[in-house]
A and B are shown apart, each in its own frame.
Chain A
Amino acid sequence: MRTRHWIMAALVAGSLPLASCKKTETAEEEIESPAKVEHLAGDQPARITLTEDAVKRIDLKTSPIAEADEQGAKTKTMPYSALLYDTQGDTWIYANPQPLTYVREHVQVKRIDGDQAILAQGPAVGTQIVSVGAAELYGSEQEFEEE
């Protein structure tokens, strides 16, 4: 009688560590990443898709590229706040071809006048570009290392 009790106890005790090794943390819900970055083939810059929440959070605003008249010639202008410099000195903006989708596009700046940038080269007039929040989009393309 006593022996059987001991054997049972041993079995129960023995199975405990095995059971606990499989013990997992409480399952975390899958959090959707705020920005999805797809790298396209070749040298093309990436295409970033944001969630609606993400757009609201960073208060992303867009403006269209406008046309301006400069000494007779037609030039394009855009808000200065849309402009990004990369480390090589090239200038970029983020175009917004479809809702929640952003693609980095090259521009060439003739000069900056107050809060408008006058472009020598850039996307077509009327293209929606990101005027507030371009820094965060730029950040999504980079990987942050743990310090």
Chain B
Amino acid sequence: MMRWIVGASMQLRVLVAVIAAMLLVLGISTLRQMPVDVLPEFARPYVEIQTESLGLSAEEVEQLITVPMEQDLLNGLPWLSSIRSESLPGLSSVVLVFDAGTDLMRARQMVSERLTQAVAMPHVSKPPTMLQPLSATNRVMIIGLSSSTLSPIQMSVLARWTIQPRLMGVPGVANVSIWGQRDRQLQVQVDPQRLHDNNVTLLQVLETTGNALWVSSLSFVEASTPGTGGFIDTANQRLGIRHILPIVSPKELAQVPIEDSKARLADVASVVENHQPLIGDALTKDGQGLLLVVEKFPGANTLDVTHGVEEALGEMAPGLAGITIDKDIFRPADYIETAVSNLGTAMLAGFILLAIVLFALFYDLRTTLISLLAIPLSLVAAGLVLYYMGATFNVLVLTGFVAATAVVVYDAIIDLEHVQRKMRGRADRSLKVAATLILDASHEARSATVYAALIVLLAVTPTFFLGGTSGAFFRPLAVAYSLAIVASLVVSLTVTPALCLMFLPRDSVDRRESSLVRWFRQRYESLLGHSIRHGRLTMAMVGILTAIALAAIPFLSRQPLPSFKELSMLIRLRAAPGTSQPEMTRITGRMGKELRKLDGIRNVGAHIGRAVLGDQVVDVNSSELWVSIDPKADYDKTIHAIERVVDGYPGLGYSVQTYLRTKSGDIVPQPEDKIIVRVYGDRYDVLTSTANDVKNAIRGVKGIDELRVKAPTKEATLETEVDLAAAQQHGLKPGDVRRAAATLLSGIQVGSLYEDQKVFDVVVWSTPRTRHSVSNIHDLMIDAPGGTRVRLGDVAKIRVVPAASVIRHDGVKRYVDVVAEVKNGELAAVATDINRRLKDIKYPLEYYARVLEDYAVPQEARTHLVVLVLTAAAGVLFLLQSAYGSWKLAAISCLAFPAALIGGMFAAIFTGGAVMTLGTLAGLLAVFSFSVCSSITLIKHYQRLTAVPASDADDSRRPHFQLPLDSSGRFSSVGGDQGNGAGFGPGLVQHGAAERLSPILATSLATAALLTPVLFLGDAPGLEILRPMVIVILGGLVTSTLFTLFGVPALFLLFGPGRGSDLDDLTLTMTDEELRAALAQAYVTGPRLPSTTQN
């Protein structure tokens, strides 16, 4: 069938050439639009639901919002893998994680169906909102807004009503959250003393304010039914009626007379324009400002989104006079742009070097050009497939392509080298002869290439079965690699022969081979002769080195992902639980100011706490500083200086990392040294004591280093509990007390103000002095029936108690963790032991404990992986056996692989330390594929030589085999057979290897040439994974080439020629004429068909 493919491509060569050219040109231009990102989408499908409830404590959020939503609505969704929630003061966040492979859109549909039944508690919380689907690295840009002329409230209005909607309209933008937003509100801040003096109750103020407006959300005021304006019809016209609200500012509202009283609102309250209580804040380089965080959809193109956002801001700029827009706080597109340009430079330089090497090999312009066309064509074709599959171009895809370069280069070189050799010295210049020769050449080359391709593809299949996040991470690499290999195979079967036929027949037949190649060959032949004499010693050397390399593997540590040289650092700060927002803003501001003064820092922006619908589920005691580094600065020195500064602040927990490192922190599950026992229950005090019981029960388990109970963090909270007796004396009910206190301390929205196309809240609150301290809380005045007033401290117990800062649920229940640190490698045994002991504990009703299965995942994954790798290895062995028709030869090839890897491993260890990174592994994969290709080439060539009798040699110019040494008789009887091919012995081995020297050496040199420029670009961004990879590849190429050129011949001599593969069985693929001719010849020369050898 392959014969047919090659033949057909040659017949339709013009069509094939045109298609190839178009593919190359269009492919390159299409690929320029391919979304580029650093990491692939590795997060599992998940949905987050946030419910804002400003002013509600964590426990009430849990009780009133989270629990009903979790238990009644969201638990039990299809495809749900885990349901987790966090209840913080003011926010409920429920995260639903779905099984890997779930269609996110369908999952979201299921969730929204359930959410339609959610009942929001009016005036207590906003309706639950399902957040937009977000990319795994969701932040695409941070924009700082500051102004010296506009107030924070005015800026917030612009941000909320003009900038945010416009930016949300940019394609690819999923969300824009605004940190530091101060909502414009009209606030009626009552002064309890003045209320008393004017004999007005709080309820009167509420009703008055509500009824003064058009619309009120309070159901007990008349304004809750505003009515419509109506219209009148005259005989001719219809006139609509519209009412204009005269209240547009605090001044007008203040003049409104209070119902049932002679006073006006101004007499009992300060009516002001103010903002809501803050859940967070933002700092730019000019101090307090706004931070807009732009987030993108999964799979959106970072560069496109960034440019779109910048364009939108540019369009809006004329209308935003007075506002300074700072786009430099966080811009990951910078890194991507630099990386892409560095990669482009490296690729271009590599391509030029490649062209030089190929020309030195072929010594013929046309052949060189054909090969230079074939190599990028394969990669472009693979890239196009990825593009249409919807993938992004990320570092893993790049790594996969680079890992495949050895094979791609090999495929191009081997075909052309065969063709060139056959075409050289032919008698006839006709097209038909050329076509036959090309077909033959391709036939010779392709069995090796097909087997090599199958073997390397089989070698990467275990990655497809890797589960979890690591699977999602490494699959793009395997896919890109496989696509490149398949594309290269297709190109070598179709495009290369077609182009050869188009351009090569006009070649001069006298063209000799490159003198450089000849020089190499002569040197090599003599070297090989010497080494064959000392074959056993060579093998021993190689064996020792391989053993050393393999023995070193367990000592290598794994660090799967390098730190990308992003110019943005993210500093996460945490203060003691319960720290206030003003203090957090102050300390964050001080740190920001100090950082800005450091050398090499371009910009610093910070946000404290959280924002509405933002991606930070934290309280105000948490903040993030985004530090932007000058590209011209010394990177490591600057990072070090930043860490020194951050470490110098007492009383803060912190972490300093790049954004990608923060997000990719859980790529390969690393907690192989921890087992977590989770205790589920209802009350934290009982949970903590049960957890302590568990801790004592498992304390004696062998293998546990350290045990601790992770109790929930507590902070000080004010608790008020109404004393029923005391309240009853004044005629008060607990609800009355709560509502009054809530209005005074938290404020209540009574209506809306409509202005232009914006809506603002009108709120009744108290003056700041009324809610300034705990003393004020005690002195809070509650209206009692009968016109009297009561102090809150007299009817309620007010005390400071500890409360959980954040209440977490796993599977709908509260929990407390017991963390056991375990000596490495004994996780399974320890877990079984723990499970046994857990059964013996007596739990209170509704409380239970279990070992989290997280530990099992790496273990299971590892066992699973080992099984897959062994299966793949067995498959490779079988493929090799069927390629050679001999187990012994398959064994040789198998030996080639670890021998090839030695060089790579030593190179990696020597330069990078004993760390196994992704780049190292990918480099070893590339070297492995090269060694497969080269050893198959050589051995198959040997088999072909021994299959053909000396008199029927293809190449009539081949000299007779010579036995260089008489004393080498010991080789000839090894294996116990004499193949019926001529002269199986050192001479054949030596000469055969010399014939294959040029493609093998050329592939090695060409691959090295293509990749070396990466090293010369130094520590540039974009090359973090490629640098170690290229080092490994170069080291591995050296040993692999040496082994193939010196070791394989020696081993072949030792093991014998084998049967040859069925693919080589010429009788199976001969045409009728050829068969008749062969049979005729057989009758003449004897019953021997020019086909398979027999052992």
Q: A residues engaging B (CB < 8 A)?
A: 2-3, 6-7, 9-10, 13-14, 16-17, 20-21, 23, 31, 33-35, 48, 50-51, 53-54, 57-59, 80, 85-89, 109, 111-114, 117, 135-140, 142, 144-146
Contacts and interface: CB of A to CB of B under 8 A. Distances in A.
Given A17-B552, A21-B914, A136 B906 contact: no
A117 B772 CA distance: 12
Given A31-B644, A80-B773, A145-B710, A135 B575 contact: yes
A10 B548 CA distance: 10
Contacts of B655: 146
Interface of B: 530-531, 534, 537-538, 541, 544-545, 548-549, 552, 555, 574-576, 578-580, 583, 586-587, 590-591, 594, 644, 647-653, 655, 710, 714-716, 769, 772-776, 778, 799-802, 902, 906, 909-910, 913-914
Contact of B576 (A13, A51, A139): A139
B648 A139 contact: no
Contacts of B800: 85, 87-89
Given A85-B716, A87-B801, A136-B649, A112 B776 contact: yes
A121 B538 CA distance: 89
Given A14-B548, A139-B575, A139-B576, A23 B913 contact: yes
Contacts of B649: 34, 54, 57-58, 136
B545 A53 contact: no
Contact of B541 (A10, A31, A59, A139): A10
Nearest to A6: B541
Contacts of A3: 534, 537
A132 B499 CA distance: 80
Contacts of A6: 537-538, 541
Contacts of A85: 578, 716, 774, 800
Contact of A87 (B575, B644, B715, B778): B715
A82 B552 CA distance: 59
A95 B131 CA distance: 47
A33 B647 CA distance: 7
Nearest to B538: A6
A129 to B, nearest CB: 16
13 contacts: A3-B537, A7-B541, A54-B648, A85-B774, A86-B716, A87-B715, A89-B716, A112-B775, A117-B773, A135-B580, A136-B650, A144-B653, A146-B655
Contact of A34 (B541, B574, B650): B650
Contacts of A146: 655
Given A20-B913, A34-B649, A50-B650, A138 B906 contact: no
Contact of B906 (A17, A139, A145): A17
Contacts of A13: 545, 548, 902, 906
Contact of A17 (B534, B579, B583, B914): B914
A57 B580 contact: no
B650 A35 contact: yes
Contact of A112 (B530, B552, B774, B799): B774
A57 B801 contact: no
Given A17-B549, A57-B591, A87-B715, 19 more contacts: A2-B531, A9-B541, A13-B902, A14-B545, A17-B906, A20-B910, A21-B914, A53-B648, A54-B650, A57-B648, A85-B716, A87-B714, A87-B800, A89-B799, A111-B775, A111-B778, A112-B773, A136-B649, A136-B651
Contacts of A20: 909-910, 913-914
A70 to B, nearest CB: 14
Contacts of A87: 714-716, 800-802
Contacts of A35: 650-651
A59 to B, nearest CB: 6
B715 A136 contact: no
A111 B541 CA distance: 86
Contact of A58 (B587, B716, B769): B587
B711 to A, nearest CB: 10
Going nearest first, the 9 A-B pairs with the smallest beta carbon separation are A144-B653, A139-B651, A89-B800, A136-B651, A87-B802, A35-B650, A112-B773, A139-B576, A111-B775
A16 B909 contact: yes
Contacts of A53: 648
Nearest to B530: A2
Contacts of A88: 800-802
Contacts of B910: 16, 20
A112 B548 CA distance: 75
A2 B775 CA distance: 93
Nearest to A84: B716
A144 B713 CA distance: 10
B698 to A, nearest CB: 20
B372 to A, nearest CB: 36
A3 B902 CA distance: 20
Contacts of B594: 57
A34 B648 contact: yes
Contacts of B541: 6-7, 9-10
A13 B579 CA distance: 58
A64 B822 CA distance: 51
Contact of B772 (A2, A114, A140): A114
Nearest to A9: B541
A54 B591 CA distance: 11
A112 to B, nearest CB: 4
A16 B359 CA distance: 37
A109 to B, nearest CB: 8
A90 to B, nearest CB: 8
A138 B583 CA distance: 12
B772 to A, nearest CB: 7
Contacts of B586: 59
Nearest to A25: B913
Nearest to A117: B773
A20 B579 CA distance: 47
Contacts of B914: 17, 20-21, 23
A114 B538 CA distance: 90
Nearest to B531: A2
Contacts of B578: 85
Given A57-B590, A111-B775, A139 B534 contact: no
B153 to A, nearest CB: 25
A144 B650 contact: no
Contacts of B555: 17, 21
Contact of A135 (B591, B651, B769): B651
Contacts of A54: 648-650
B771 to A, nearest CB: 12
A93 to B, nearest CB: 15
A122 B538 CA distance: 86
A130 to B, nearest CB: 12
A139 B776 contact: no
B544 A34 contact: no
Nearest to A55: B650
A137 B590 CA distance: 16
Contacts of B909: 16-17, 20
Given A14-B544, A135-B580, A144 B574 contact: yes
Given A10-B545, A138-B576, A58 B538 contact: no
Nearest to A86: B716
A144 B715 CA distance: 14
A31 B644 CA distance: 7
Contacts of A16: 906, 909-910
A139 B580 CA distance: 12
A146 B549 CA distance: 37
Contacts of A17: 548-549, 552, 555, 906, 909, 914
Contacts of A114: 769, 772
